[in-house]
Amino acid sequence: MERTRLRAITDWMVIVLFLAAIGLPLIGALFDTSFNKAASDGRELAALPKLLPKGSSLKAFPAAFEKYWNDHFGFRGTLIRGLALAKVRWLHVSSSVHVLLGRASWLFYTELPVGADHAAVHPFTEGELDAWQRVLEHRRDWLAQRGCRYLLLIAPNKQTIYPEYLDPRHLSNYSHSRLDQLLEHLRKRSSVEVVDIRPQLWAAKERERLYHVTDSHWNDRGGFIGYQEVTRALSGWFPTVRPLPRSAFLETVQELPVGDLARMLALKDFDREEYLSLVPRFPRQAHVAKEGVIPPPGVTLFAPPCAFECDDPRLPRALMLHDSFVCTMQPFLSEHFRRIAYLWQYDFHKDVVERERPDVVIQEMVERVLGEYIPK
């Protein structure tokens, strides 16, 4: 009798636990708490579908609602973050196909899925190098016909400057990069002006950290070196453009939320990072331009274009085509132009150039783009 009673209690406990397990996602979805919010997967989560009294809507609703529920069920975020924490902290395995785990908690972005053969990244062919040369020279020559200069800056990948923090398994994959190939090719066969800031970054990293630990970008101090080298190159064309000294800025350290790579790992709730910043000691001269930048039609931009002005007619005008690495450089660069327009775009849009009438077009792109971007 006692054994039968114990078996009944056990059965009921199993039933209750089972009902609780399958019911928790629904219960969690009804409460808007930090534990229940869906974690970001680096994509747009499915929206709640509308149920309309139409045959096609009724037929499509179950599948659409299933996608919504899979993205928004209760405690989904908690489960994803817990799994990520277990993978990264305990198993030392990346929870993102595009994030490499490095030494001393350093994280690196990779174009190839983690675990793939990174040595299989193909170098440029001679034909591809010639194509890059033709495109860059065409941009330079078209601008020269309009009295405008052209300057190219390629911001190095984090692992290019800090290979010592890479897992030894990946070290050999970055020994001779596409950036090495392109710069060597242009030095030998072209007169396109290219700023190679790697030597300055390699030298400066002995004094201070230049990239974020948990983010793929450089910090203010790395961006400042990029800014200095760009303005030094421009000063040969425009004598009024002279880089500000480092002494014009106050060095600050802030503890802030982790960067983009940690967010890709779903670890944004668990860590913070020291951000090394540079704050100007004197008021900035640049201010938001009265007239904005008209973007090219039919082009998707990562961020709205913007422009800054300085009230000094001796300064040149500029257009900068760029990616996210310029966000750190922008406050520094804007101090040196009568007007500088920023367009988050790699492609060359002649209509924007003709509207802006710049004295120089500065093209910036991050090194990793060389593996995927085809200039045109």
CA gap 227, 155 in Å, rounded = 11
H-helix or E-strand containing 276? strand 272-280
Tell me which amino acid residue 103 is. Answer: R
Per-residue confidence (pLDDT) for residue 116, from 0 to 100: 47
Residues contacting residue 175 through CB under 8 Å, at least 6 positions apart = none
Position 121 scores a pLDDT of 60
- Distance, CA of 100 to CA of 163 (rounded, Å): 12
Other Cβ atoms closer than 10 A to 366: 24
pTM (2 decimals)?
Answer: 0.81
Q: How far apart are CA 376 and CA 23, in angstroms?
A: 54
Say which DSSP state 317 is in: E
Question: 307 - beta bridge partners?
Answer: 341
Block mean pLDDT (10 aa), the chain, length 376: 70 70 58 51 66 68 69 60 64 80 92 51 87 96 98 96 86 73 96 97 98 96 98 97 96 92 80 92 95 88 93 97 96 98 94 97 94 75
Which pLDDT score, from 0 to 100, does residue 277 have? Answer: 96
- Go through 334-350 and write b for each residue having 16 or more CB atoms within 10 A of its CB, e for each that does not: bbbbbbbbbbbbbebbe
pLDDT score, position 78:
62
The secondary element (H helix, E strand) that includes residue 155 is strand 149-155
| 319 DSSP assignment | E
Strand partners, 149: 360
